[in-house]
Chains A and B, each alone.
Chain A
Amino acid sequence: MADARKDDLVQIHQVVLEPNQRPDTLPECTKSVPYECWVKGFLLNGEATIGEEVRIETFIGREITGTLVSVNPTYDHGFGYPQKELLSIGREVRKGGVER
């Protein structure tokens, strides 16, 4: 069964440069991995499954090709967890004489 249909918001992936195509001046840990990219847009293919080569139309109307990796991708960065190293700072400085 298809994972995405035409006009769905999807994310594609490309390997831009293989390790051997990257400049020699890079640190070893960077030079030894491929240079990759991800772009979002609307699926142009009729339907597609994850891992398939697809074409998308980006938010500004350009067409780009890549491997389908995600359908209706979300933003998953958040507020993090409350941090004990921060939680008491407000009370500490108010005790320090700033409180009127």
Chain B
Amino acid sequence: MKRDIRYGAVMSRKNEILRRGTGIDYQRYEISPISFDYEGLMASSQYSLEEAQRILKETGVGNTALVELKNITKLVRSVSPPGKGGRIFIKDEAANPSGSFKDRRAGVSIYQAAQLGYKGVVAASSGNYGAAVASQAAKRGLKAIILQEVYDSRKVGQPEILEKTRACEAYGAEVWQLTVGPELFYIMLRVLEETGFYSASLYVPTSILGIETLGYELAQQVLQQEGRYPDMVVITHAGGGNITGTARGLMRAGSNQTAVVGVSVDLRGLHMASDHDFNRKSFTTGHTGFGIPFLTFPDRTDVPRNCARGLRYLDRYVFTSQGEVFYTTELLARLEGIQRGPAGNTSLAGAMALARELDQEQILVVQETEYTSAGKLPSSQITFAKENGILVKRGDPGENIPGKVIVIPERAGQIRVEEMDLQKVRQSHIRNILEAAKPYLPTKEDIQFIAEDSRSNVGFLQETMKAMKVKEAAPD
């Protein structure tokens, strides 16, 4: 029998396709239309942290160097108040096999796919994750299909994404280069159904577990080298997995007092599904276009329940700009002799502003770097920006306008971050959960769940419910 592969027909088979593709029965962890057993789902892979470390070590993932950026710290101190300017360290994740921390995120999942007997894996990613899946699949003898959003309707692609196509094909993957649109998910379902392959979603438990090894490792390294835990860990934020995994790993290591700060490049105002806006951004990830929706509605993704829940772990969320990331990329190369790509340099740009708040003996860790190359370099991305009508100039980065003007700072003291009000993020997270569940009314247990999921409290939740005119369900 030939299956109906039209859009509506495939989408209606979503749950069945994903259950077969992930090997996870999400239904088992559902409690109500609002609540689910998050820790139960996280434990479903049955791998311990030690097993995850061993699995990753088999393919050369992890155990990356922790490097103190002494010259950048010195520069930051020169523009900080007296006594201020914390020590900045980076975790050089570019040393992983495919060049980013995403190898940790893919490694445990691909191992599990092989254990479960899948012949191949499918991932939807225009970034480093696709390359990591392709690389891990090559090592484990599995086939890989990577689906990428690459081109606008003129067939113009951002250089960084074209580089990811090249990398995935270098590792032997079949790559689908698609135009702009959320229908990527439809193609993913179609390909999963056609092949019976494993769905290497970014948001399954094994993906987050892999990242926990990063948080754990960096806390241990700082403790061993410096005799204390880090005071602040700064994390580039897009889908929330990096924050979730790193924060959980820090806690496992006992680094409970560490402030967890997310950083995204400010691209507010650009529509992520817009063919016109697509090539008006320089970076493909680590920006607010993913960062905000994934905090306020994590379950709107390619799995029924998303294990990346950044809001549970964030202490602060700040924005930087493309121009500040380009400037920081130059500093890292010129002052530290380390040339790396924009993903980690997004959190490094944020760190240059955040370190000015810390005392000089305090320790701040930027927890990733990524490889750089043709397509990822500032020269390549600024050339592309100018070709697409973006004005690029030196000046005060406060004059940055997403999609229109990129402002590269004139001096280090101009680097700043804009604080996102997390209470507002919590409020929209709560609203989204309650709206999606309507007409269902939340029970006491649901209210407890939402409070945990938004890292707020029952009182704050009740206020939000009152403003929305949503009542609590009457007890049975």
Chain A interfacial positions (CB closer than 8 Å to B): 16-17, 21-23, 26-27, 29-30, 33-41, 58-62, 75-83, 85-86, 89-90, 92-94, 96-98
Count how many pairs of residues, one from A and one from B, have CB atoms less than 8 Å apart in the complex. Answer: 152
Are B75 and A16 interface neighbours, CB within 8 A? no
A27 to B159, CA, bound (A): 24
Given contacts A39-B177, A86-B326, A86-B378, list 12 more A-B pairs with CB under 8 A.
A22-B181, A27-B274, A29-B276, A37-B176, A60-B174, A80-B377, A83-B383, A85-B393, A85-B394, A90-B333, A98-B74, A98-B75
Are B383 and A59 interface neighbours, CB within 8 A? no
Are B174 and A59 interface neighbours, CB within 8 A? yes
Question: Quick one: which of B120, B151, B172, B275 has the most chain A CB within 10 A?
Answer: B275
Nearest A residue to B412 by beta-carbon distance? Answer: A93
Nearest-neighbour CB distance to chain B for A24, whole angstroms, equals 12
Nearest-neighbour CB distance to chain B for A90, whole angstroms, equals 4
In the complex, chain A residues whose CB is within 8 Å of the CB of B393 = 85
Are A26 and B195 interface neighbours, CB within 8 A? no
Are B326 and A35 interface neighbours, CB within 8 A? no
Q: Which of B74, B180, B377, B392 is A30 in contact with, Cβ under 8 Å?
A: B180
B32 at the interface (CB under 8 A from A): no
Interface SS of chain B: helix, strand, loop or mixed? Answer: mixed
Are A93 and B334 interface neighbours, CB within 8 A? yes
Are A16 and B183 interface neighbours, CB within 8 A? yes
A17 to B175, CA, bound (A): 18
The interface on chain B, measured as residues whose beta carbon lies within 8 A of the other chain's beta carbons, has a size of 63
Are A26 and B381 interface neighbours, CB within 8 A? no
A34 to B187, CA, bound (A): 14
Interface-located stretch among B160-168, B234-242, B293-301: B160-168
A27 to B270, CA, bound (A): 12
In the complex, chain B residues whose CB is within 8 Å of the CB of A35 = 178-179, 181, 183
Are B179 and A37 interface neighbours, CB within 8 A? yes
Are A80 and B380 interface neighbours, CB within 8 A? yes
Q: Which of A29, A76, A89 is B327 in contact with, Cβ under 8 Å?
A: A89
In the complex, chain B residues whose CB is within 8 Å of the CB of A85 = 326, 382, 392-394, 408
In the complex, chain A residues whose CB is within 8 Å of the CB of B392 = 83, 85
In the complex, chain A residues whose CB is within 8 Å of the CB of B145 = 60, 62
- 7 of the cross-chain contacts (CB-CB < 8 Å) are A83-B378, A83-B379, A86-B379, A90-B334, A98-B71, A98-B78, A98-B335
